[in-house]
Amino acid sequence: MFGHIQPGPPDPMFTLKKNADNDNSPEKVDLGVGIYRSEVGKYQELEVIRQAYGNGLIAKLI
């Protein structure tokens, strides 16, 4: 059914994520996907996100 459709170009975000995952540098900072972690790998929520939850902005968006 879709055999005649040519594949589109690769998604640049997937390429960035793949490159970040393959980078073993201890100085790597992966900010591309939106999950931020501390130096010890612990999830770290940004202050602006906490404020958005606190004032109900996130609830309005979802």
CA 2 → CA 8, 10, 24, distances in Å?
13, 18, 39
Provide the residue type at 3 as one letter.
G
Query: Which pLDDT tens digit goes with each residue over 6-61?
Result: 999 988 888 888 888 899 998 887 666 566 777 787 877 778 888 888 888 777 77
What integer pLDDT is reported at residue 48 of this predicted model?
A: 82
Domain ranges of the chain: 15-61
On whether the pTM is more than 0.85, the answer is no
Q: For residue 44, what is the DSSP state?
A: -
What integer pLDDT is reported at residue 49 of this predicted model?
A: 80
